[in-house]
Structure 1
Amino acid sequence: MVTIVASHNVTPNEPTPNDPLWLSDSDQIGNLRHVSCFYVYKAKHDKNALERLMKSLSKILVHYYPVAGRLRLTESGRMELNCNAKGVTLVEAETTNTFADYGDFSPSLFTEELVPKVDYTQPIEDIPLMLIQLTTFDGGEGLAIGTLTSHPLADATSMMPFVNNWGKLTRGEELEPNEIPFLDRTLLKLPPQHSSPSVKLPEWKPVQQAQEQEQRKRSAALFKLSAKQVERLKEKANDKASSEGVRPFSRFEAIAAHIWRCASKARTSAESSNHPTLVRFSVDIRKRLNPPLPQNYFGNALAKTVTPKCNEGEIISNPLSYATQKIREAVYMVTDEYIRSQLSVILGQEQLDSIRAFFMGQGHLLNVPYAGNHNILLTSWLGMPIYEADFGWGKPMHYGLASAFQEDRAAILPSSDGDGVAVTMFFQTVLMQLFKTLFYEEL
């Protein structure tokens, strides 16, 4: 059980610019709510932790002042960021639980207690863009820092440096010039373009089908792959690549294909293999645009992509390289032309209506996934400096998503030991054990 001790509002410790910040189309598509993640530290009792965190947070917000602002709606129906320095919410909490009570820290109702709560029924202008919770475990066993971050504010590529730099200031160090965020999002104010026949936006339509209540239930599980297991997967995926003159598949492509194939096999144990299946994921466009965006660009710089059409029978009956190639085709689709085409047409009436609904206090009704399709939504944070979030207690022993999703979804992250990969899988509860068996059996 987690008990809230106190809640604090932290603002920048110096005056900051208050001009409204233009948000790109990439900021306004998709999830309009907050993303919940948490770090766990093995740390002795630190009675000054809260005070040091608040002091350094007020300092980092001077550089990242949009984080202390609020969203608001313009007359055109778009969102913009009001840089009013209203602040970030920092919650102080304690729990009677120990690390053992959380097992491997897979997303669950228990891990959700380690992040703050946000009330979407209040006016959006009053909702903090970031909420943070410091939780002390029973007996001084350790600490957890849970974060809730508004997705329109920034993507994970932007927020990882924010947390890492916050940790650096907490340790008493100063930021280097290259660690200061680039805040001008008008670089993504691209001129209107018309989609050519070769540049089509991804199709992502759930297959509506009746499902029993048990089939709709989803749960989460954590799967760890050692570096040797990752290499074995890459070898399987690349079995024919060299002989056919194909560039070797990456670990992301191989792991994503493996997840897709195991999910397809698990589903077809209960149903037919004729169901269409797709994998959708977002690609960082910072280096894919011409000219490229600054690497320290702060905001959302993502383009959605999706694998070519196929059915689960094809994924299962063919070798791993078949699914891997489809993942690659989705990655290769994201060119400069594709990005410009997608961003110039994607913010249509449907999305503007969703934004308006959000501002009318109906945010809690938005982005509710339908669990009745055979698709997979994939997130990859491979290569991100997740474990550099050191607040003076050393590197975190765990980092992960806090909340469960009611759709088939996977998140691929580096493992805490730096040796391999950790996959968080959200899947049908009745099929999760079979998925686990297939996942490791294939290795």
Structure 2
Amino acid sequence: MVTILGTHTVIPKEETPKGLLWLSDNDQLWRWSHTPSIYVYKSKQNNNTVLVERMRDSLSEILVHYYPLAGRLNWTAGGRLELDCNANGALLLEAESKKSMAEYGDFTPNQPGIKELIPAVDYSRQMNELPLFLAQVTKFHGGDGGFAVGILWSHPLGDGLAAIRFINSWAKLTRGAKLDPSELPFLDRSALKSTEPLTSPRFDHREFKPLPLILGRTDNIEEQKKKKTFALLKLTSEHVQKLKKNAIVTENGNGNGNGNGPHNQSQRPYSRFEVISAHIWRCACKARNLEENQPTVVKFNVDIRNRMNPPLPQNYFGNALGPTVTPTCYLKEITSQPISYAAQKIREAVKKVSNHEFVKSQMDYVAGFENRWDLIRTPYLEKGEYRADVPFFGNPNIILGSWMSMPFYEADFGLGKPFYFGPAGVCPYDRAVIALMPDEDGDNGYAVVVYMHFQVEHMKDFIKYFWEDI
């Protein structure tokens, strides 16, 4: 049980610009609710109040630079999100648990009590009343001590990289350091504004079109309603190397058996992301036990900051993600062909978003949805927004993400670096996120982990294939 000892509305330390801040079309694609995550620290510092006071002061200081996070979202008449920079503030909670750190297990979303370490939000309130950033600092009970910092982040304000940069800068100020000019955010989002008049898209943007349905179905409502669960799967460096080696062996082997395979002995080796993603896709297809001729795709987002021409500023604050999707494959192709077959499909999807003209065309395509944003915006399924005409990434498909480049473990608030970071909620659709976790035996001190969100009825089989097929 967790007791809230204090609730602090934190406003910028200095006067900040007021008024409406334009949110890009890329910002409009994400669900309007918050994304939960958690940091866990082993520090034995006893005075929770002193820590929270330092975090409150530094949060007030960092909000001067990140003043949009102290604002509030509103709906426009056309269903677009807009940001009112009104300095109403972020929310910081001080809490204390009657449980020890050990009683929370591995801190994954399936563990009882994890939700109590995350700020609670009343979504029955008007959107313009909801803080965009909330943090809860919880001290654990017992001699071993320790703290958890639970985060709620409004995705329309920024993607994962933007969130991590903010939190790491906040942490840096909390421990008494100063920010370098290069660490300050770039807030102008006009670089992602489509030109007027709109140009017709130059590509077929399948990434925004309905994904394959289970054969015999006319919609995916049934799959939206099915319960999901979570698993944390840790890959050693040996596991990763074996997957990469298997892809090389099959790539240089006898082809994929259908005469039109992607195998090319001269191409570069598959990356960690490509082989792990391929492995996840194959295991998901096997676990679901669908028909062999079931169409399936993988969808994921690619950071486009360095894929624009010219590139976006280094510290661009906002959403800068280019959705992409693999070619449609049949389940039998993915499960019976070598892992390199699926890895090549992943590579093809990455390559599309590496094309600046494709990204610009994508922006024009999205801009064409003015007044119809609900048709492409990720729905808030936890609130029962079940609809057949909105994006859904679950069975028979899957959505992937890579957090391997994100420096989560630099968030040192003066407690030392966290020993655990991860999602604090179960995703409402099948999703796998590939990330890194501190490990003395891993490459450069880190091991690869997969945060796996999957339907309850298929998770056991997925885990079985995940380890058997390496």
- State TM-score, norm by structure 2: 0.87
Cα contact 1:31–1:367 (8 A) shared by 2 = no
Question: Structure 2 vs 1, CA of residues 375 and 16 (structure 1 numbering), >3 Å: closer, same or farther?
Answer: same
Question: Which SS does the other structure have where 2:446 is aligned?
Answer: coil
Give unpaired runs (5+ residues) of structure 2: 253-263, 440-444
Displacement, 1:433? 2.2
- Higher mean alpha-carbon deviation, 181-190 vs 336-345, is at 336-345
Please say if 1:273 is aligned against 2:276. no
Partner residue in 1 for 2:102: 100
In structure 2, which of residues 368, 373, 397 is the aligned counterpart of residue 352 of structure 1?
373
Tell me, in whole angstroms, the C-alpha distance in 2 between the residues paired with 1:69 and 1:169: 21
Tell me, in whole angstroms, the C-alpha distance in 2 between the residues paired with 1:390 and 1:138: 21
Tell me, in whole angstroms, the C-alpha distance in 2 between the residues paired with 1:367 and 1:136: 37
Partner residue in 2 for 1:153: 157
- State TM-score, norm by structure 1: 0.92
Displacement, 1:200? 5.0
In structure 2, which of residues 208, 227, 230 is the aligned counterpart of residue 220 of structure 1?
230
- Higher mean alpha-carbon deviation, 239-248 vs 99-108, is at 239-248
Partner residue in 2 for 1:21: 21
Displacement, 1:204? 3.6
Partner residue in 2 for 1:239: 249
Partner residue in 1 for 2:115: 112
Read off the aligned partner of 1:258 and give its amino acid letter. H
Displacement, 1:188? 0.8
- Higher mean alpha-carbon deviation, 297-306 vs 243-252, is at 243-252
What are the within-5 Å matches in structure 2 for residues 333-372 of structure 1?
333-334=352-353, 335-347=355-367, 348=369, 351-353=372-374, 364-366=383-385
In structure 2, which of residues 191, 200, 205 is the aligned counterpart of residue 187 of structure 1?
191
Question: Which SS does the other structure have where 2:191 is aligned?
Answer: helix
Question: Structure 2 vs 1, CA of residues 206 and 32 (structure 1 numbering), >3 Å: closer, same or farther?
Answer: farther
Please say if 1:374 is aligned against 2:396. yes
Question: Structure 2 vs 1, CA of residues 367 and 128 (structure 1 numbering), >3 Å: closer, same or farther?
Answer: farther
Tell me, in whole angstroms, the C-alpha distance in 1 between the residues paired with 2:76 and 2:227: 39
Give unpaired runs (5+ residues) of structure 1: none
In structure 2, which of residues 408, 413, 418 is the aligned counterpart of residue 391 of structure 1?
413
Tell me, in whole angstroms, the C-alpha distance in 2 between the residues paired with 1:385 and 1:438: 30
Cα contact 1:3–1:93 (8 A) shared by 2 = yes
Partner residue in 2 for 1:41: 41
Partner residue in 2 for 1:435: 462
- Higher mean alpha-carbon deviation, 375-384 vs 410-419, is at 410-419
Displacement, 1:374? 1.1
Displacement, 1:4? 2.2
In structure 2, which of residues 450, 455, 458 is the aligned counterpart of residue 423 of structure 1?
450
In structure 2, which of residues 56, 64, 67 is the aligned counterpart of residue 65 of structure 1?
67
Tell me, in whole angstroms, the C-alpha distance in 2 between the residues paired with 1:439 and 1:316: 12
Partner residue in 2 for 1:314: 333
Partner residue in 2 for 1:128: 131
Partner residue in 1 for 2:140: 137
RMSD: 2.6
Displacement, 1:362? 12
Q: Percent identity?
A: 49
- Higher mean alpha-carbon deviation, 62-71 vs 346-355, is at 346-355
Question: Which SS does the other structure have where 2:156 is aligned?
Answer: coil
* Matched residues, number: 438
Displacement, 1:267? 1.4
Question: Which SS does the other structure have where 2:117 is aligned?
Answer: coil
Partner residue in 1 for 2:258: none
Cα contact 2:212–2:297 (8 A) shared by 1 = no
Question: Structure 2 vs 1, CA of residues 212 and 199 (structure 1 numbering), >3 Å: closer, same or farther?
Answer: closer
Displacement, 1:207? 1.7
Question: Structure 2 vs 1, CA of residues 425 and 350 (structure 1 numbering), >3 Å: closer, same or farther?
Answer: farther
Question: Which SS does the other structure have where 1:436 is aligned?
Answer: helix
Question: Structure 2 vs 1, CA of residues 53 and 197 (structure 1 numbering), >3 Å: closer, same or farther?
Answer: closer
Partner residue in 2 for 1:89: 91
In structure 2, which of residues 312, 322, 343 is the aligned counterpart of residue 293 of structure 1?
312
Read off the aligned partner of 1:119 and give its amino acid letter. D
Displacement, 1:118? 1.5
Question: Which SS does the other structure have where 1:82 is aligned?
Answer: strand
Cα contact 1:241–1:247 (8 A) shared by 2 = no
Please say if 1:254 is aligned against 2:275. yes
Question: Structure 2 vs 1, CA of residues 168 and 238 (structure 1 numbering), >3 Å: closer, same or farther?
Answer: same
Read off the aligned partner of 2:172 and give its amino acid letter. K
Read off the aligned partner of 1:261 and give its amino acid letter. R
Cα contact 2:305–2:313 (8 A) shared by 1 = yes
Tell me the alpha carbon deviations over residues 331-388 of structure 1, each in whole angstroms, 9 at most, x when there is no partner.
11112111111111224157435799x9xx9994547886862111112111111100
Partner residue in 1 for 2:256: none
Tell me, in whole angstroms, the C-alpha distance in 2 between the residues paired with 1:362 and 1:195: 30
Read off the aligned partner of 1:101 and give its amino acid letter. E
Find runs of 4+ consecutive structure 1 residues off by over 3 angstroms. 73-77, 197-204, 208-213, 240-243, 349-356, 361-372
Tell me, in whole angstroms, the C-alpha distance in 2 between the residues paired with 1:75 and 1:38: 35
Read off the aligned partner of 2:11 and give its amino acid letter. T
Tell me, in whole angstroms, the C-alpha distance in 2 between the residues paired with 1:189 and 1:407: 30
Question: Which SS does the other structure have where 2:167 is aligned?
Answer: helix
Displacement, 1:149? 0.7
